[in-house]
Amino acid sequence: MPIEILMPALSPTMTEGNLAKWLKKEGDEVHSGDVLAEIETDKATMEFEAIDDGRLGRILVPEGAQGVKVNQPIAVLLGEGEDPSALEKGPAAPSKPATNAPPTDEASPTIAVGAASATQLPSARDRGGNGRIFASPLARRMAQQAGLDLGAITGSGPQGRIVKADIEAALSAMRGAPTVAPPRPAIAPQVSPAAPARSPALSKERVLALAGNPPYSERPLSAMRRVIARRVTESKQTIPHFYLTVDCEIDELLKFRAELNAKSEAYRISVNDFVIHATALALRQVPAANASWSDEAILLWDTVDIAVAVALEDGLITPIVKNADRKGLATIANETKDLAARARAGKLKLEEFQGGTFSISNLGMFGIRDFAAVINPPHGGILAVGAGEQRPIVKSGALAIATVMSCTLACDHRVVDGAVGAQFLAAFRKLVEDPLTMLL
């Protein structure tokens, strides 16, 4: 039986990598321990060794392929005595089921994985075909040198080709150049460098004409601003958003917070840190909400990594608290403080703001009662948190006063239906209103 060789996870956090080089050709003998290929991640290039003996029957992913997901079949190994005709039967089902398991929650209907990959986010990746990414030779090399994933970059060249300017913008944004802050708005965690508007050019002239030519001054478009513009537009145009709101009584939480903070100088837990932890725990309880839509399958994420929006001078960025369900409140508090500080200083590393499985945006400090946020592709949802304020409520038929915080969940309806969203929010609210249960 031919054995499928899958893209290995060379580190616990690796989700995808580049197949830099094949060291065996189709037809070559393979012995256990032989180096099959060089796999490149943004951290390092590593050798991938064969586990089994056999002959390399077919290479499924070509040399140079970028963005190969962990567990994606990359080759087929023929066993002893098997001949290439065994390959015609087609590859065996991938051994790790996680990426292909249907949603376990009954409330969500089976989502048809359509063959049509028609309306794509403008991308340099040829999704209809073999995953080719179009980039100029120079852009390719610059990305490789900097460890950037081309698959996550939108190109501004002809037909969405990634060109030097796109790589430069991504790099300068990451470095936090003085005029260009990191291009990671709360709405868009992918690496998306500055790209000029591709649909009908909204020139200054047009805008002035529409506005009736009043006096004005100009602020030039920073790379981050261009990226925010592009990402929120794409998100709103391609993701069917719907919104669910709950009001959470947080008096218990505030009391609990005060008690915890009084115990030590080593941390200072904010309301938002509670929100992050509660969100993560609620996602564990309703895993269907910790998922993303793809045209081939819904991807249910194994980890709960929360992207937290941080306001910057000229925009936003979303540093990620990884495994937010498994971290204590003090850890979360210290991490978010550190991430936010480094975000404002432009010193976040790529993996610290690229990715996440869910987002939170909190405008409570500005006195906002409630709001609806824009989903950061590819997340399935984003929780928008308002200010905790004293409000009149009804308890057992009588007027009372409580500190209430309104939270609005924006869901991607392709992957999170109303019932799932509601279940998540119910779980979230329960944890927030009874914070001791976060310890369970």
Partner 1 sequence: MAENTFDLIVMGGGPGGYVAAIRAAQLGMKTALVEREHLGGICLNWGCIPTKALLRSSEIHHLLHRLDDFGFSAKDISYDASKVVARSRAVAKQLSNGVAYLLRKNKVSVFDGHGRLAGKGRLAVATDGNPVAELGAEHIVLATGARARSLPGLEPDGERVWTYKEAMVPKAIPKSLLVVGSGAIGIEFASFYHDMGTEVTVVEVLDRVLPVEDEEISAFARKSFEKQGIKIHTAATVKALEQSGETVTARIEADGELAEATVERVILAVGIVGNVEDIGLENTGVVVDRTHVVVDEWLCTGEPGIYAIGDLVGPPWLAHKASHEGVICVERIAGVNDVHPLDVRNIPACTYCRPQVASVGLTEKAAREAGYDLKIGHFPFIGNGKAIALGEPEGMVKTVFDSKTGELLGAHMVGAEVTELIQGYTIAKTLETTETELIRTIFPHPTLSETMHEAVLDAYGRAIHF
Residues marked as catalytic: 413
Q: What residues numbered 98-137 form the site for partner 1, per CB under 8 A? A: 136-137
> Shortest gap between Cβ of 379 and partner 1 (angstroms)?
29
Q: Does 201 bind partner 1 (CB under 8 A)?
A: yes
CB of 136: closest distance to partner 1 in angstroms?
3
Angstrom distance (rounded) from CA 252 to CA 435: 7
Q: Which stretch binds partner 1 (CB under 8 A): 62-70, 158-166, 223-231, 283-291?
A: 158-166
C-beta of residue 380 within 8 angstroms of C-beta of residue 240: no
Q: Judged by CB under 8 A, does residue 200 bind partner 1?
A: yes
Among 31, 96, 198, 395, binds partner 1 (CB under 8 A): 198
Over the window 178 to 197, marking each residue x when it contacts partner 1 by CB under 8 A and - when it does not, the resulting string is ------------------x-
Choose, by CB under 8 A, the member of 7, 74, 142, 174 that binds partner 1. 142
Q: How far apart are the C-alpha atoms of 279 and 412, rounded to whole Å?
A: 17
- 50 versus 167: smaller Cβ distance to partner 1: 167
Closest by CA position to 165, among listed 173, 156, 175, 174: 156
In angstroms, the Cα distances linking 362 to 27, 273, 295, 383 are: 57, 11, 31, 8
Q: Mask 320-359, x = binds partner 1 (CB under 8 A)? A: ----------------------------------------
Residue 396 φ/ψ region, left for φ over 0, alpha for ψ in the -120 to 50 degree band, beta for the rest: left
Q: Which of 251, 250, 270, 248 is nearest to 260 (CA)?
A: 270
| Nearer CB in complex with partner 1: 7/169 | 169
Tell which residue, 30, 31, 35, 37, has the closest CA to residue 57.
30
Contact call for residues 28 and 5 (beta carbons, < 8 A): no
**Residues in region 206-245 near partner 1 by CB under 8 A:** 208
ω into residue 84 within 30 of 0, thus cis? no
Query: How many Å apart are CA 310 and CA 160, to the nearest integer?
Result: 29
Min separation Cβ 134 and partner 1, Å: 12
What's the min distance (Å) between Cβ of 155 and partner 1? 11
Q: Which residues bind partner 1 (CB under 8 A)?
A: 136-139, 141-142, 145, 158, 163-164, 196, 198-201, 203, 205, 208
